[in-house]
A and B are shown apart, each in its own frame.
Chain A
Amino acid sequence: MRSETLVWAAVAAIMAFLFLPIVIIIVYAFSAAPIPSWPIAGFALHWFADTWNDEAVRQALTLSLQVAALATVMAILFGTLAAMAVARMKSAAKEVVSFIAVLPIALPGILTGMALASYFAFWGINLSFWTIVAGHATFCVVIVYNNVVARLRRMPRSLTEASADLGADAFRTFRLVQLPMMASAIGAGALLAFALSFDEVIVTTFTAGAQNTLPLWIFGAIRLGQQLPEVNVVVFAIILFTAVPVLLAQKLIGESGRVAR
C-alpha cells in the first residue's frame, strides 16, 4: 500500500512538472493585466478578441495552416509510396533504404535547417513560402512513412497475392486491398505530420524568408517582450490545435491495430 502511494506521488509530481507551465499559460490567457504577473489581479476575455483582430497574428496563422496542409499532402504522397516500395524490397536493400528514409527525423532540426538553407543559397533559391514547405516536408514524410511501414509489416503478403490470384491487376489491388488497409495508418500519420509542422520552429527559422509562421511570431514576440498577453492566447490556441490531431491519430492507430490482428 505504502509503496503504491509513493509511486502515485511520484507520478503526480512528474505530471505537475510537465503540465503546470502549460496550465499557467492557459490561465494567463485569461488575465486582465497587460504584463503577465503573479498573482493574477483580474480576469478578462478581451485578449482573445484583440489577438483575433491582430493582422500579424492572422497572417502567421494562415501561413502556418497553409504550410502544414501542403507539407502533409506531400508527406501522404511520398511517405506512402516510399513505405510501399520499402515493403517490397529484399532484406539488404531494405535495411539501407529504410535507414535513409528515417534519417531526416533522427537528425537534429538545426542540421536539417542549416543544410537546407545552404542548399537553397547554393542554387540561388530565394527563401519563400515554398522553401518552408520543403523544410517541413522533410520530417513530415518520415512520420507518414513510419506509420505506413509499420502497417505493411503486419499485413500478410498473401493478401495482395490473393487479390492477384482472384484476377485483380496491380492497380485494382492497390485500390481495393492495399489502400483501404493502409488508410487509417496514412490518416494517423497525416494528423501527426500536420501537428508537427504546425508548431515547428527550428527548421522554419532557417527556411523562412520574410514570412512568419505562428511559432516564429511567438518566438519573436517573446524575444522582444511585446504583446505577451496575445502570445498567451496564441499558445493556448496552438495547444488546442495540436492536441486534437495527436489524440485523433492515437485513436486511429489503436483501432487499426486491433483490425490488423
Chain B
Amino acid sequence: MQTAKQPIVQLEAVAKSYGAAVALAQLDLTVYAGEFFTLLGPSGSGKTTTLRLIAGFERPDKGRIMLDGQDVAALPPFARAVNTVFQDYALFPHLTLVENVAYGLRAKNMPKAEAHAEAEKALAAVQLADFAGRKPAQLSGGQRQRVALARAMVNKPRVLLLDEPLGALDLKLRHQMQTELKRLQHETGITFIYVTHDQDEALSMSDRIAVFSQGRIEQIGTAFDLYERPASVFVADFVGSSNLLGGSTLLRPEKVRLLAAGAEAPENHAAQPGVVREATYLGAVTRYQVALADGTSLNVMESNALPVGERLRLAAGDAVLAVWPRDAARKIGN
C-alpha cells in the first residue's frame, strides 16, 4: 500500500523515571506513516508512559522524540500535531457532544459555525448525528467511546494515540469497535499508535507490535513474527499460549497432535508418549493437558475440523503419543 516507508514518530534513547522507579530505560522506537502500531505489554511495562511522552503529557528525562522529523520533546501537548483517545474518554461533562467534538477546531480558531458543521459531520461518521445536542452523561459507554474517537479524529492529526480505548467495553462491543477502528484507520490513512494489554486485540488489529516488559521493548514485529518467532521467553509466553520445553524451546499447543498409544510417529516428527490429564471440549478445538513420560506437562490444542467419526476421542487417563513436526519446536532467541 505505502510506496516508501516514511518515519513519522521516532523515539531515540528515551528514558523516564518517577523518583526511584524507572518507567522507561533507554527506549528506541520508529513508527512509520500510515501504520497501525500497537504497544503491547502488562500493566506497568511502560507502554502508557511511552504514549504519554509522545502526546506531551510527560517530558522525557533523556532522549529525543521526533514527530515528522522535528524534535518535540520540549513542546507542550497543545503544540503537537497528535491527538489522544483517552482510556476514560475524558469527554467534557459540561459541554454537548457537538461542543466536545468542535473543541479542538475552536482552539485552532475555526469560526464557530464552521467548527460545529465539521463536528456534526464527524459525529455522523460514528453514527451519533442524532445525539449532537446531548451531554456525555446521557450516553452509553460505547457511544462515549465513539464521541472520544470523533473528537480526536476531527482534527485530522498526523498521529492518533489510543490509550486502551476499548478497555471499558464489553466483549461483543469490543470486537465491533476493533473492526470499526481498523476501518477508520484504513479510510483516513492516519497513523495509529495503540496501547493495549490484550494480546488478541494487538494481534488482530496491528500492522506491527512492540512488546513491552519492565520499561523495555522485548521485540518489535508483525503478529506473525511475534507468534512464530518470539525473540524472548517473555514474548513467547505473553503472546499466545505456549509450551516451553527445557526452559527455552517453544512449542505452540496447536502444533502438537495426539495419536493413539503405540502408533508410529510420522516422518520428521518428534514423538513422546504421555497420558491425558485433562480434556476440555471447546467447540472448534479441544484443549488437552498431557503429562509426558519425562515429566513435563504439555498443553495441546487440537482442531475439531475432521468429521466426528475420524477423530480420536480422548479422555483423561488415556495413554497417547504426542507428535509434532521437528521444526515446530523452536529454540527461543534464534
Q: Is the pair B104, A177 in contact by a Cβ cutoff of 8 Å? A: no
Enumerate chain A residues within 8 angstroms of B325, measured Cβ to Cβ: none
Enumerate chain A residues within 8 angstroms of B108, measured Cβ to Cβ: 167
A180 and B137 CA atoms in complex are apart in Å by: 16
Q: Is the pair B84, A162 in contact by a Cβ cutoff of 8 Å? A: yes
Q: Is the pair A158, B137 in contact by a Cβ cutoff of 8 Å? A: no
Q: Is the pair A165, B78 in contact by a Cβ cutoff of 8 Å? A: yes
Query: Which of B89-97, B168-176, B250-258 touches A?
Result: B89-97
Closest A residue to B108 by beta carbon equals: A167
**In the complex, B38 has a CB within 8 A of chain A:** no
Enumerate chain A residues within 8 angstroms of B78, measured Cβ to Cβ: 164-169
Interface size class of B (residues with CB under 8 A): 20 to 34
Q: Is the pair A162, B93 in contact by a Cβ cutoff of 8 Å? A: no
Q: Which of B135-169 contact A (CB under 8 A)?
A: 137, 151-152, 155
**In the complex, A156 has a CB within 8 A of chain B:** yes
Enumerate chain A residues within 8 angstroms of B92, measured Cβ to Cβ: 159, 162-163, 176-177
Q: Is the pair A259, B155 in contact by a Cβ cutoff of 8 Å? A: no
Q: Is the pair B90, A161 in contact by a Cβ cutoff of 8 Å? A: yes
Cβ contacts A161-190/B at 8 Å (1 or 0 each): 111111111001000110011000000000
Of the candidates A158, A172, A259, A261, which one forms a contact with B107 in the assembled complex, judged by CB atoms under 8 Å apart?
Answer: A172
A147 and B223 CA atoms in complex are apart in Å by: 51
Enumerate chain A residues within 8 angstroms of B77, measured Cβ to Cβ: 161, 164-165
Closest B residue to A166 by beta carbon equals: B104
Q: Is the pair A259, B137 in contact by a Cβ cutoff of 8 Å? A: yes
Q: Is the pair B103, A168 in contact by a Cβ cutoff of 8 Å? A: yes
Q: Is the pair B155, A180 in contact by a Cβ cutoff of 8 Å? A: no
Q: Is the pair B55, A165 in contact by a Cβ cutoff of 8 Å? A: yes
Given A165-B78, A167-B155, A181 contacting B104 (CB threshold 8 A): no
| Nearest Cβ on chain B to A217's Cβ, whole angstroms | 43
**In the complex, A260 has a CB within 8 A of chain B:** yes
Q: Is the pair B86, A158 in contact by a Cβ cutoff of 8 Å? A: yes
State the main secondary structure of chain A at its contact with B.
Answer: helix
Q: Is the pair B107, A181 in contact by a Cβ cutoff of 8 Å? A: no
Q: Is the pair A159, B155 in contact by a Cβ cutoff of 8 Å? A: no
Q: Is the pair A164, B76 in contact by a Cβ cutoff of 8 Å? A: yes
Enumerate chain B residues within 8 angstroms of A156, measured Cβ to Cβ: 88, 90
| Nearest Cβ on chain B to A173's Cβ, whole angstroms | 8
Q: Is the pair A163, B88 in contact by a Cβ cutoff of 8 Å? A: no
A243 and B176 CA atoms in complex are apart in Å by: 54
Enumerate chain B residues within 8 angstroms of A176, measured Cβ to Cβ: 92, 103
Enumerate chain A residues within 8 angstroms of B57, measured Cβ to Cβ: 161, 164-165
Q: Is the pair A168, B94 in contact by a Cβ cutoff of 8 Å? A: no
| Nearest Cβ on chain A to B127's Cβ, whole angstroms | 22
A192 and B87 CA atoms in complex are apart in Å by: 37
A162 and B94 CA atoms in complex are apart in Å by: 14
Given A164-B78, A166-B151, A167-B155, A159 contacting B107 (CB threshold 8 A): no
Closest B residue to A258 by beta carbon equals: B137
Q: Which of B68-114 contact A (CB under 8 A)?
A: 76-78, 82-84, 86-88, 90-94, 103-104, 107-108
Q: Is the pair B94, A166 in contact by a Cβ cutoff of 8 Å? A: no
A152 and B251 CA atoms in complex are apart in Å by: 52
Closest B residue to A159 by beta carbon equals: B90
Closest B residue to A167 by beta carbon equals: B107
Enumerate chain A residues within 8 angstroms of B137, measured Cβ to Cβ: 259, 261
| Nearest Cβ on chain B to A181's Cβ, whole angstroms | 6
Interface centre among A158, A180, A181, A259 (most CB of B within 10 A): A158
A168 and B90 CA atoms in complex are apart in Å by: 15
Q: Is the pair B107, A168 in contact by a Cβ cutoff of 8 Å? A: yes
| Nearest Cβ on chain B to A103's Cβ, whole angstroms | 28
| Nearest Cβ on chain A to B63's Cβ, whole angstroms | 21
Given A158-B88, A161-B57, A166 contacting B155 (CB threshold 8 A): yes
A176 and B104 CA atoms in complex are apart in Å by: 12
Enumerate chain B residues within 8 angstroms of A181, measured Cβ to Cβ: 93-94
Enumerate chain B residues within 8 angstroms of A163, measured Cβ to Cβ: 92, 103
Q: Is the pair A166, B107 in contact by a Cβ cutoff of 8 Å? A: yes
Closest A residue to B163 by beta carbon equals: A158
Closest A residue to B94 by beta carbon equals: A180
Given A165-B77, A166-B155, A167-B108, A158 contacting B90 (CB threshold 8 A): yes
Given A172-B107, A259-B93, A165 contacting B83 (CB threshold 8 A): yes
Closest B residue to A90 by beta carbon equals: B19
A260 and B108 CA atoms in complex are apart in Å by: 28
User: What are the 6 A-B residue pairs with the smallest beta carbon separation, nearest first?
Assistant: A166-B104, A158-B90, A167-B107, A162-B90, A164-B77, A168-B107
Known contacts A161-B55, A259-B94; can you find 10 more A-B pairs with CB under 8 A? A162-B90, A164-B56, A164-B76, A164-B78, A165-B78, A166-B104, A167-B104, A172-B107, A181-B93, A181-B94
Between A and B, 9 residue pairs with Cβ closer than 8 Å are A162-B86, A163-B92, A164-B78, A165-B84, A166-B155, A167-B107, A167-B155, A168-B103, A176-B92
A residues neighboring B (CB under 8 Å): 156, 158-159, 161-169, 172, 176-177, 180-181, 259-261
